[in-house]
Each structure stands twice: as C-alpha cells, then as structure tokens.
A and B are shown apart, each in its own frame.
Chain A
C-alpha cells in the first residue's frame, strides 16, 4: 500500500533513460574488465619467457659489417635503458665463449650430434620453477630450454632416418649431453630439456653453467654483449617499440606483433573501461537524483506517514528496496547482455586466431558486485537523508 502511495504517477522517462545508461555502462564495464584480464593472461604459460619480454640486438648495417659501428652494448647503454619509466628490467644475454656441441645420449634414439650456440639469461625473465632451473658442478644433468625449431630439425632428421618423430613430452625424457671444450681440455655433461621456446634461437642454460664453461673453457677473448633481454611494463609496449626504432635495435617479429597487439587492445579496453565507469557513475547519479525527485514529489505523503506513526526506517527501506531492485534488474540485464556479447567476441577472437581463456573471470563478478554495493550504499544514504529531512 505504501508502494502504491509513493510510487504512483511517476514520470518514468528519466528513469528509463538512466536505466538504459546504467545497463550499457555495466555491460561494457564488465566486458572490458573480463577481456582486459584475459588479454593480459594471453600467451602466459605457453611461452617460457615472461610476459612483455623481448630479446633485442643492434641492427646489422653495412657500416657495422665494415666495423665502422658497434653491434655490442656498453654498460652505459644498458644503464640508460634501465632508467626508462616504461622499462621493467634490462639484462644482457650471455653467450658461450667456449666450444660446445650437443648430442643425443639415449640408446632409444639414434645418434645426432651438432655444434651449438648456448646462451643464458637472468632467471627472473623465465617462467620456470626455480627448483628446476639450477646447476652446479657435480649435478647429474644440466637443465636446458630448447628452441622449438631445434626439435623440428631433430624430427626432420628422425623422419629422414625412418624413425618415429618425438613429441615435446617425449623429448623431455630423452637424455642428451653437451661436450664442452677448448684447445686443451674437454668434458661431457648430461643435459635434459625442461621446456621449449619459440622466442629464443639458441639453447638456454642456467647462468651457473654458463659461468662454469666461460671460466673453465674460455677461448681467450672477452665475450661482448650483443643481445639484451628487455621486459616492458604492461600496456606500454608501444613505447618499447619506439625505443627500438630510435636506438636502431631489432627483435623477433613474432614477439613484437604479440606485444603490440596486447598493448593496443589493452589500451582500447582501458579506454572502454574508463568510459563505462563514467557511464555507470553518471547513470547511477541520475537514478539517485530520480529518487530524490520522487521523494520531493511525495513530500506531503512522506511527511504525513511520519506524522501518523510510520517509522523513518520503513520509508527508507521502501525507497531503498525500490531502487535496489531496479539496479538489480539493470545488473542482471547487463550480465546477460555481457554473456551474449562475450559469445560473439569469443567467436571473433577465435576466428582471428587469438585463443583467449573463455571462462568468465571472477574479477568480472567482483566488479559487478562492487558497482552494485556502491549504488546500494549511495541509494540508502540518499533515502535516509531525504526521509529524515521531513521528520
């Protein structure tokens, strides 16, 4: 009966416009939060290098070929790069300064031997368990991260020898060994693949093994730093790219494309999220304003109800519940349209070759709950203030 008294003869135009605004705002807000999270996760786990990480080297030009310009990095250049605000970290990629060859050492696999080029990087760039990624003299094997191209090459060899090809998992079970040597001495060290990378062209070994090789089997001349590993900050990959251009550096194209794609879409989603937050905020404000308008239209009714013995909390509860239900409907509609939108967007991403995790992230629901809670608190306070004014 109170509802009939207080909510009759409303001018619903303003209410419908505010509901529409809030509905669209919520749909785009939760959609942008969901896709921002899923996009940031994209590529994680599938690659051994951490996110937003690239290996760069100086572009080889005619002048560098003629030794007129350097292709190595000085300490000062590295320090300067480290200080840039969009760079998370910069570390040199250390290469072997000793002879090393790599061969199969498993009776089940035919013998395959090749001189190789090994490198080590700061372990913080690698997405591997630290207990797997260590080596000391006397250990039974050296853990290695293998370029996937190397496995393709191995499988080509297997196929040519009429031997079944090997998968990633099987390759990790095969025993390999390194032959480390210089002009005077030679040692054999067992090796085992613990992961693969598409990003690095050489075999990666722990830093301790590289130090051991370079100290014990050094070929003499000091090894120069020709490659750097750079980790850029989230959604600032464009700046890293600009830096590479400015400094005449180059990186593997695939790394750049993935980073650029994430950066561009991430920025777009942030913009959409920002606009959605403003839309939700403004429409929430219009809804609250509508509540105040309703209360002031019903000033006589509210005042009389209080005079005949109605408790303010009953009237506050009536207004509060009315608007909380309205916002509940908006949130439910927003969530439903998000699922519909998500269905089409997931299809689009999949068609475009971007395989995002399609599970709805918990953060999406948390954001929705937070927006709902924020509106509930605001409407309760507004209702409380409006009713107590008449007491």
Chain B
C-alpha cells in the first residue's frame, strides 16, 4: 500500500453528497462535476457556510461515504479501499486539520502531539516543541489541551497535522480563530512543510485567501 499512490492524484467524478443533492448549486460548484486535484498543487476551496466544505474534506478522508459519483486516488476508487488502506493513507498520504479540531481535551498538548507523531516517528520531541515555539504556544506544552483557548487549540491542531508525512494536507477553515499575525505564522510553517515534502494542500475558506498564491481555486 505504501507505493500504491506514489504521486497521489485525487479525482472527483460527478460527486454529489446525498444531503446536498436537493440544494441548488452554483454554475462553478464542483459538486456533480469532474474535478482533478493535481499532486503538489495549492488549492483554495471557497464557499459560504453550509455548502459542503467539511463534507468535501470528510469525503476525501474516507470519513463520509454518503455520496453519489466516485472519488479516486490515482486510479483506485476509494469506495473499494479496505481498513488497512485507509489507515496507511491517513498515516502517510493525507493529513487533515478538522474544523472542530478533534483534539483530545483531557490530555496535555504534548501528549496530543506525540500520540500522532508516534505513529510515524516523523519528528523528535524537540522538533515538535520547536513548532509550538514558532507558533508562540510552547509554554502550553504540558498543559491540558481542553484548557487552551480556541486559537491556541487551533495551532496545536495545525502542528499535529504536520507531524506525519503526507501528499495532501486538507485544512478545514484552520485559521478561523486566529488573528492575521498568527495566521501568517501558521501559513509559513505549513507552506515550508509542504515544500519540504513536495505536497499539495486544500484549504477551505469562507472567501478570505489569506494572501496565498494558489494553483487552483475551487468553488462549492
């Protein structure tokens, strides 16, 4: 499975989430169309609330399966992938920052990050601590995650997503609780990491481009 998606291209073939099927979609909406996400591209996905940004992220991550059409990674239909394939993809190929962050509030920041990093041993503990330092929250290292502000938690979730190798980084409104200065710090870290891995990303947003030069802009 490690080599099955060497340079992973994601294709959506007339994908329509069933809960959104009854809605009227705009002319430029990707729902129900054939879309290719080319490996290494920086993709911005703009849409207003309720148009299916999180559904898009969850569908590609294999969390949601309630759609018509098909999604393929290279030539493999993701509906045919087994548990072991998905585990491998989530460890090595696609990383995600969820809109609701999905951190573990009862354990510390350090434990949250190591829990992810231990899967692939991508970074040393010092390197992870360094990422937090870059984002200005290294003093929260031993603090229980649930006690942090939303902005601080969002930065922890960003660092967690970087603690693995990936071809694609899926980000679901990752800066919604951050000011511009912190957003730019986070973006810098993300872009550096993507460049290092020659990876692409999909960034969903309510319309703000955060000053990023994107290769592709998609609408929902």
Chain A interface residue count, Cβ-Cβ cutoff 8 angstroms:
18
B interface bracket (residues with beta carbon within 8 Å of A)? 20 to 34
Check A307–B91 contact: CB distance below 8 A: no
Cβ contact within 8 Å between A311 and B87: yes
Q: Is A310 an interface residue when CB atoms closer than 8 A count as contact? A: yes
B160 touches A308 (CB 8 A): yes
> For A1, what are the chain B residues with a Cβ–Cβ distance below 8 Å?
107, 111, 114-115, 118
Provided the pairs A1-B118, A308-B160, A310-B119 are in contact, do residues A391 and B102 lie with their beta carbons within 8 angstroms?
no
Q: Is A67 an interface residue (CB 8 A)?
A: no
Given A5-B107, A5-B115, A304-B102, is A310 in contact with B87 using a C-beta cutoff of 8 Å? Answer: yes
Q: Is B152 an interface residue (CB 8 A)?
A: no
Complex: A51 Cα to B104 Cα, angstroms: 67
Flag if A307 contacts B61 (CB, 8 Å): yes
Known: A309-B119, A310-B119. A5 touches B104 (CB 8 A): yes
Which B positions have Cβ atoms within 8 angstroms of A? 61, 63, 83-84, 86-87, 90-91, 96, 98, 102, 104, 106-107, 111, 114-116, 118-120, 160, 164
Q: Is A312 an interface residue (CB 8 A)?
A: yes
Interface pair B63/A301, CB less than 8 Å apart: no
Q: Is the CB of A311 within 8 A of B84?
A: yes
Please, how many angstroms separate the alpha-carbon atoms of A391 and B164 in the complex?
Answer: 20
Please name all residues of chain A whose beta carbon is closer than 8 Å to the beta carbon of B91 when the two chains form the complex: 309
Nearest-Cβ distance from residue A384 to partner chain B, whole angstroms: 11
Against B, the Cβ 8 Å flags (1 = close, 0 = not) of A1-18 are 110110011000000000
Chain B residue at minimal CB-CB distance from A8: B106
Contacts of B61 in A (CB 8 A): 307
How far is it, in angstroms, between the C-alpha of A2 and the C-alpha of B111 when the chains are bound?
Answer: 10
Alpha-carbon distance between A253 and B161 when the two chains are bound, in angstroms: 85
Q: How far is the CB of B58 from chain A (nearest CB, A)?
A: 9
Q: Which residue of A lies closest to B61 (CB)?
A: A307
The 9 closest A-B pairs by CB, nearest first: A309-B90, A309-B91, A311-B87, A304-B102, A309-B119, A308-B116, A1-B115, A312-B83, A1-B111
A325 located at the interface, meaning its Cβ lies under 8 Å from any Cβ of chain B in the complex: no
Cβ-based interface call for A388 (8 A): yes
| Complex Cα gap A307–B104 (Å) | 13
A contact residues around B160 at 8 Å (CB): 308
Residues of B near A307 (CB, < 8 A) are: 61, 63, 90, 96, 98, 102
Pairs across A and B, CB under 8 Å, 7 listed:
A1-B114, A8-B106, A309-B87, A309-B116, A309-B119, A310-B119, A312-B87
Task: Known contacts A309-B164, A311-B84, A312-B83; decide if A2 and B115 are in contact (CB<8 Å).
Answer: yes
Interface residues of A in 201-226 (CB under 8 A from B): none
Residue in A301, A304, A305, A308 whose Cβ sees the most chain B Cβ within 10 Å: A308
Complex contacts, A309 vs chain B, CB 8 Å? 87, 90-91, 116, 119-120, 164
Instruction: Please give, as numbers and ranges, the residues of chain A lying within 8 Å of B104 by CB-CB distance.
Output: 5, 301, 304
- Closest Cβ of chain B to A262, distance in Å, is 56
A319 CB to nearest B CB, Å: 16
Instruction: Give the residues in chain A near B83, CB-CB below 8 Å.
Output: 311-312, 388, 391
In Å, the complex CA distance between A308 and B102 comes to: 9
Interface residues of A in 297-337 (CB under 8 A from B): 301, 304-312
Contacts of B119 in A (CB 8 A): 308-310
Q: Are B111 and A4 in contact (CB under 8 A)?
A: yes
